[in-house]
Amino acid sequence: MKIRCPHCQAVAAIRTSRPWTPVFREIRLQCTDVDCGATYVASLTIDRMLVSSQKPNPRVRIPQGYAVPRPANDDTQQEAAAL
Ligand SMILES: [Zn+2]
């Protein structure tokens, strides 16, 4: 997964992360463009389960969810390249 700097669109590198709970983590990002130099704090949350764990932690509650449908590669309409 690549996260882009919202200002200059360069890749933002994850420098550190810190867990707050088993399903929430704070992430510190730094833009890799030295002329930009922006740093950010982002968050990562586990929202729902697609397949249940075979080693469940009784203290962790994650709602059962669903997969968001994604189009197959052949569903995208593209013009054929001119030869
Ligand atoms: Zn940037």
The residue-averaged pLDDT of 53-71 equals 89
- Asked whether residue 73 is assigned to any structural domain, the reply reads no
Domain span at residue 8 reads 1-50
Residue 31 has pLDDT above 60, yes or no: yes
Paired with 28 in beta bridges are: 16, 41
- Asked whether residue 43 is assigned to any structural domain, the reply reads yes
- Asked whether residue 80 is assigned to any structural domain, the reply reads no
Residues with C-beta atoms within 5 A of ion ligand 1: 5, 7-8, 10, 31, 33, 36, 38
Ligand 1 centroid to Cα of residue 31, in Å, is: 5
Number of domains the chain contains: 1
Listed in sequence order, the residues at least 6 apart from 46 whose beta carbon sits closer than 8 Å to its beta carbon are 23, 24, 62
Q: What is the pTM of this model?
A: 0.69
Segment among 21-25, 28-32, 57-61, 63-67 with least mean pLDDT: 63-67
> Using 50, 70 and 90 to split pLDDT, how confident is the model at 68?
confident
Q: Per residue in 38-57, pLDDT tens?
A: 999 999 999 999 999 999 99
Asked if 23 and 62 count as a contact pair (C-beta separation under 8 A), the reply is yes
Residue 59 has pLDDT above 70, yes or no: yes
